[in-house]
Amino acid sequence: MLSQEQIGNFSILLPEESEQKKIADFLDKQQMEFDKGIDIVTRQIETLREYRTALISEAVTGKIDVRDEKYK
């Protein structure tokens, strides 16, 4: 187990402020790309749900025939 004194003797290396800014900017851009991807997939899921609802409605009301051909 490490004592507080031993932990206090560790050196912590920090990049220069300009390098920290570059890293933060890069991470911000990556986060924006992830958010865009999440938005696209969320819209696709919603569209598929709408299609499913419409398909079920049309099948229930008899507008489309969903029976298997071998049972006709």
Instruction: Tell me the HSE value of 3 on the side-chain side, using a 13 A CA sphere.
Output: 3
Query: Mean of the per-residue pLDDT values for the chain?
Result: 92
Please tell me the predicted confidence (pLDDT) of residue 72.
57
Whether residue 23 has pLDDT greater than 90: yes
Region for residue 64 given its phi and psi (left: phi exceeds 0; alpha: psi -120 to 50; beta: otherwise): beta
Please tell me the predicted confidence (pLDDT) of residue 65.
83
Please tell me the predicted confidence (pLDDT) of residue 29.
98
Please tell me the predicted confidence (pLDDT) of residue 16.
97
Q: Give the model confidence (pLDDT) of 51-72 as tens digits.
A: 999 999 999 998 888 787 765 5
Average pLDDT over residues 28-54: 98
